[in-house]
């Protein structure tokens, strides 16, 4: 039984905080009295559950699944939607005393016979981890018996937070899935890439894939929105890994570089400028003059089209003041998109941001005016909205009432968002949604009522 989380996950050399500090920490640790934003199970489930032809079985009390299930609006195309089922061994007091490995095995065999998936992920949780259940052994036995990959994910919540869970999931893919199959020769082109950390929220992957394909770049595997087990198995054949908005999964990109020699870059597809930059950086990574030329031409024509499409929104939005309170990479990538729309970001949340994220914020903040908000509790946000005269709050769903209390419009830009905001079409959607929010008559009504 291997329970201890690998030392390597705490020591990621590409994480800025490990370069700067002597005391190495995987990510921020929990602070008493402050919300942690999910346990390791949560983080692992977020990364792996969009794999659409696999079953995802949480081995633990039913509430562990309740905590993680269906938190993101990842979309999928294809017949397999097993990932939408929440599966758990739902262990109880009896299982604690007599053990629940057999129950887990029987449950998985039943589910595999019923759904015929291409793989199974077993997520460990605190209780079976503490009682010493061997999910690695169960996974080995079932892999042989069922003839599909059955992957143990050591995601017991007491190991750490959501960010660590992301890394544990990346490690599970690296150990048990990637490199286990070769692709058919006819799906390979001269320019094959993987996206890592794109979860296809509201179909955003489809927009990025379209832009890549217009530029002659082949998306071999996406890790993991809308992914199949097979495409992840042969992802080691890509010529480049593009890490999208997920610092935690840089670990996986680095491991793939070490083992398969695949270089990686980190890019964002939020906004016109960022999408253009991402396309150009991908082309430049292949060091092919023809491809670079083609991408530059496409960027030129696409920029003209999109600028025309966002023009009516930009006219209205220019100079409007935004308070952005979201996590990690979005703390800077959305600033770029909002700059494209002419808006002025007055503050951005950096609670979950790395040092590198903060440096990127500075890159987009020519005058050094953007406030970096470390503590975004509702009281602070309401004060900031008032003091800085924000016109709109862009944040996660839980902050909707913060905006309503401040009598200003709100747009959800986190995982529960109801629109796709990446790539070329995404910036048009974002402009339109903010425009609609700012012009909604609802806010006049509530302002008058107060
Ligand atoms: S912290 Fe442990 S018990 Fe709580 S949801 Fe996470 S895995 Fe389950």
Q: What Cα–Cα distance (Å) separates residue 142 from each residue in 18, 104, 106, 164, 364?
A: 38, 10, 10, 26, 50
Q: Are residues 385 and 285 in the same domain?
A: no
Residue 7 lies inside a defined structural domain of this protein = no
The stretch 136-149 carries a mean pLDDT of: 98
d(CA 90, CA 154): 17
Tell which atom from ligand 1 comes closest to the C-alpha of 42.
6
CATH no. for residue 239? 3.40.50.12380
Q: Are residues 162 and 42 in the same domain?
A: yes
Domain's final residue, options 247, 278, 297: 297
The stretch 189-208 carries a mean pLDDT of: 95
d(CA 235, CA 5): 25
* CA–centroid distance, residue 127 to ligand 1 (Å): 8
Q: Specify the higher pLDDT residue, 391 or 35.
A: 391
Q: Are residues 154 and 40 in the same domain?
A: yes
Q: What is the pLDDT of residue 351?
A: 75
Domain's final residue, options 131, 151, 177: 177
Nearest CA to ligand 1 atom 5: 64
Q: Does residue 126's CB lie within 6 angstroms of at least one atom of ligand 1?
A: yes
- Kindly state the helix (H) or strand (E) to which residue 253 belongs, with its residue range: helix 250-260
What is residue 39's DSSP assignment? B
Q: Does residue 67's CB lie within 6 angstroms of at least one atom of ligand 1?
A: yes
Residue 47 lies inside a defined structural domain of this protein = yes
Residue 326 lies inside a defined structural domain of this protein = yes
d(CA 242, CA 450): 48
Q: Does residue 129's CB lie within 6 angstroms of at least one atom of ligand 1?
A: no
Q: Are residues 259 and 324 in the same domain?
A: no
Residue 247 lies inside a defined structural domain of this protein = yes
Q: Are residues 148 and 219 in the same domain?
A: no
Tell whether the model's pLDDT for residue 270 goes beyond 70: yes
The number of distinct structural domains making up the chain is: 3
Q: Are residues 337 and 281 in the same domain?
A: no
Nearest Cα neighbor of 214 from 222, 226, 206 is 206
Give residue-wise pLDDT tens across range 402-441: 999 999 999 999 877 889 999 999 999 999 999 999 999 9
Residue 186 lies inside a defined structural domain of this protein = no
d(CA 269, CA 244): 8
Q: Are residues 40 and 161 in the same domain?
A: yes
Most confident listed range (37-41, 121-125, 330-334, 440-444): 121-125
Tell whether the model's pLDDT for residue 71 goes beyond 70: no
Q: Are residues 112 and 165 in the same domain?
A: yes
Q: Are residues 261 and 323 in the same domain?
A: no
Helical pair 162-176 and 250-260, crossing angle rounded to 10 deg? 20
Q: Does residue 165's CB lie within 6 angstroms of at least one atom of ligand 1?
A: no
* CA–centroid distance, residue 125 to ligand 1 (Å): 6
Q: Does residue 160's CB lie within 6 angstroms of at least one atom of ligand 1?
A: no
Q: Are residues 290 and 329 in the same domain?
A: no
Task: Write out the residue range of the structural domain in which residue 95 sits.
Answer: 36-177
Tell which atom from ligand 1 comes closest to the C-alpha of 125.
7
Q: Are residues 318 and 438 in the same domain?
A: yes
Tell which atom from ligand 1 comes closest to the C-alpha of 124.
7
Residue 416 lies inside a defined structural domain of this protein = yes
Query: What mean pLDDT is reported for the chain?
Result: 90
Residue 23 lies inside a defined structural domain of this protein = no
Q: What is the pLDDT of residue 85?
A: 87
CATH no. for residue 61? 3.40.50.1980
Residue 2 lies inside a defined structural domain of this protein = no
Q: Does residue 36's CB lie within 6 angstroms of at least one atom of ligand 1?
A: no
Tell whether the model's pLDDT for residue 81 goes beyond 90: no
Strands 410-412 and 218-224: unpaired
Q: What is the pLDDT of residue 23?
A: 54
Q: Are residues 41 and 80 in the same domain?
A: yes
Q: Specify the higher pLDDT residue, 321 or 365.
A: 321
């Amino acid at each position: 039984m291997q329970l201890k989380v690998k030392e390597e996950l705490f020591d990621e050399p590409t994480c800025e905080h490990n370069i700067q500090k002597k005391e190495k920490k995987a990510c921020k640790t929990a602070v008493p009295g402050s919300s942690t934003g999910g346990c390791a199970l949560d983080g692992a489930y977020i990364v792996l559950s969009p794999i659409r032809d696999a079953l995802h079985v949480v081995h633990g009390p039913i509430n562990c699944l309740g905590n993680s299930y269906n938190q993101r609006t990842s979309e999928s195309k294809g017949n397999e939607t097993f990932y939408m089922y929440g599966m758990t061994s739902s262990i109880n007091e009896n299982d604690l005393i007599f053990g629940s490995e057999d129950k887990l095995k029987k449950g998985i065999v039943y589910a595999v016979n019923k759904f015929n998936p291409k793989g199974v992920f077993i997520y460990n949780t605190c209780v079976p981890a503490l009682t010493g259940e061997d999910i690695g052994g169960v996974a080995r036995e079932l892999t042989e018996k069922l003839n599909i990959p059955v992957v143990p994910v050591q995601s017991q919540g007491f190991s750490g937070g959501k960010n660590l869970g992301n890394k544990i999931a990346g490690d599970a893919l690296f150990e048990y899935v990637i490199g286990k199959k070769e692709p058919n020769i006819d799906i390979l082109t001269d320019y094959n890439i993987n996206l890592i950390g794109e979860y296809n929220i509201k179909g955003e992957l489809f927009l990025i894939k379209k832009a890549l394909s217009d530029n002659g770049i082949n998306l071999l595997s996406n890790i993991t929105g809308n992914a199949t087990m097979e495409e992840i198995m042969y992802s080691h054949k890509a010529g480049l890994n593009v890490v999208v908005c997920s610092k935690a999964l840089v670990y996986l990109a680095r491991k793939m570089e070490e083992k398969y020699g695949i270089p990686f870059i980190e890019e964002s597809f939020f906004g016109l400028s960022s999408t253009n930059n991402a396309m150009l950086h991908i082309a430049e990574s292949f060091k092919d003059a023809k491809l670079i030329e083609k991408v530059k031409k496409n960027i030129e024509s696409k920029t003209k089209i999109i600028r025309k499409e966002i023009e009516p929104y930009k006219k209205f939005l220019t100079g409007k003041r935004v308070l952005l309170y979201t996590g990690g990479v979005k703390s800077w990538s959305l600033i770029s998109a909002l700059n494209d729309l002419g808006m002025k970001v007055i503050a951005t949340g950096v609670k979950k941001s790395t040092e590198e994220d903060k440096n990127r914020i500075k890159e987009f903040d020519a005058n050094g005016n953007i406030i970096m908000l470390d503590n975004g509790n509702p009281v602070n946000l309401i004060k900031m909205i008032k003091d800085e005269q924000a016109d709109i709050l862009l944040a996660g769903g839980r902050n909707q009432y913060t905006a309503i209390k401040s009598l200003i419009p709100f747009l959800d830009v986190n995982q529960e968002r109801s629109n796709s905001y990446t790539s070329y079409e995404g910036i048009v959607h974002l402009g339109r949604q903010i425009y609609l929010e700012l012009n909604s008559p609802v806010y006049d009504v509530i302002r008058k009522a107060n």
